Chains A and B, each alone.
Chain A
Amino acid sequence: MTSDLLKVPLFAGLALWAGLAIPYVRLALETRLTTHVLIELLGLAVAGYLIGIGLRPALAPGLQSWNRFGLSGLAMAICCGAVWMLPRWLDASLESSIVETAKFASLPLLLGLPLALSWPELGAIMRGFVKTNFLSMLLFFAWLYIASPVRLCNSYLIDDQTMLGVSFIAVAGLLSLLWAVPLFIGRGFAVQAAPDRNTQITKDKNYAVRSID
């Protein structure tokens, strides 16, 4: 079974998770709203995702009948993400060690991990749906954080809130580029979709030509 695991992403994920949990790192990231959200929260989700990639060969076959089209895992990830989008719980995580622990456990295990197990199962349309919704959500929150005249988190300064909003726009821009670029050079992928047969034919032709010669 251990041979089924992809060790590099697994250990990278575990290391990231542990790194973010180091008290010094954790407290430093949590002094600013922007680093709290963009590095800590996102980092925890990414850590779970990497662990998920690592465990995929071992877990995916057993889970397949429970997670067709990646539906269950996606539902879990969305539910978990929805709760941590609430400013209230960011504030609470700074003041309650129970909430803080819940944050450190749930983001990797209930968001990143199930997403990694489900992503390959999702159809192209569903992936597009998830990506575009994520982008629009990000931009909605960007607008909210920039435009809100009141502080949404009682623990952070209003300038910090504006900065998070601006960072969200930057992240949304980067992600849309990252996701859109392959669409324009997509022809390469389409040809690759059936590479074996094509190459086979060409080879055969060559062979035929040669044999005529």
Chain B
Amino acid sequence: MRTLVAALVIAAVGLWVFTWATDGFRVATAEGARRLAVAEHPVTIPGVTVEDMDGHVLHLPQTGGRTLLIEFIYTTCPTICQDLGEGFGQLLETIRERKLDDRVALLSISFDLENDTPKMLRHYAEHHGADGDIWKVVRPTSRRDLETLLTTFGVKVLPDPLYGFQHNVAIHVVDGEGRLVRIVDADPASAIETLDEKVSRL
């Protein structure tokens, strides 16, 4: 009898802890937790300065009322960042087709301050068709601003002996008021879906 009571109490407490630890059976990974946290509690982006591929300085999160779709990249990345570029290229097409250019903008932010000079940013931009207007390719102007961005967005960049870096791959949606409101998968299909959901409806 005592055993039954003890085992039931332990199981109940264990279930409660597990439910808490998975946010109600919704997340098992840090990436999932990051996305859920943002969806439930939007994060205001602190002011940082970035420079674009033409050397122009921009202040984030100045959005001009547009929704920003942000990706973190490094231009010398041989694999995933090039796919991300492709994806943003398709997204740019969609934005033009639907004439959403006054409502939404794309931003690729490099976290590789050492290698990604404006020249490299331009190279990446030209290769993937970033027009510098709807889609800008930028890098933070200081290491401090970079750290602020990575911490706020919850992006983790690890040096990789083979390829340079490994990092979270996702599209970060910042609304017109400069708040990070959603983090979604980076494939073009789910990005366009987000576009429908977040932008077309506005």
Give A residues with C-beta under 8 Å from B: 65-69, 71-72, 75-76, 78-80, 82-83, 86-89, 91-92, 150-159
Contacts and interface: CB of A to CB of B under 8 A. Distances in A.
Interface centre among B7, B28, B34, B168, by most chain A C-beta atoms within 10 angstroms, is B7
Contact of A88 (B7, B29, B156): B29
Interface in B1-29: 2-4, 6-7, 10-11, 13-15, 17-18, 21-22, 27-29
B30 A75 contact: no
Given A75-B7, A88-B22, 12 more contacts: A66-B6, A68-B2, A71-B4, A72-B6, A75-B10, A76-B10, A79-B17, A82-B14, A82-B18, A88-B30, A151-B31, A157-B158
B3 A67 contact: yes
Nearest to B9: A72
Interface of B: 2-4, 6-7, 10-11, 13-15, 17-18, 21-22, 27-34, 156, 158, 160, 162, 166, 168-169
A151 B3 contact: no
Of all A-B residue pairs in the complex, the 7 with the closest CB atoms, nearest first, are: A79-B14, A91-B30, A68-B3, A72-B6, A154-B156, A75-B10, A71-B7
A88 B28 contact: yes
A67 B34 CA distance: 39
A84 B57 CA distance: 45
Q: Secondary structure of the B side of the interface?
A: helix
Contacts of B29: 86-88, 91, 152-154
Given A150-B169, A152-B29, A79 B6 contact: no
B30 A79 contact: no
A3 B11 CA distance: 34
B10 A157 contact: no
Nearest to A81: B14
A67 B6 contact: yes
Contacts of A80: 14
Contacts of B158: 155-157
B31 A154 contact: yes
A106 B30 CA distance: 20
B3 A75 contact: no
B22 A150 contact: no
Nearest to A68: B3
Contacts of B2: 65-66, 68
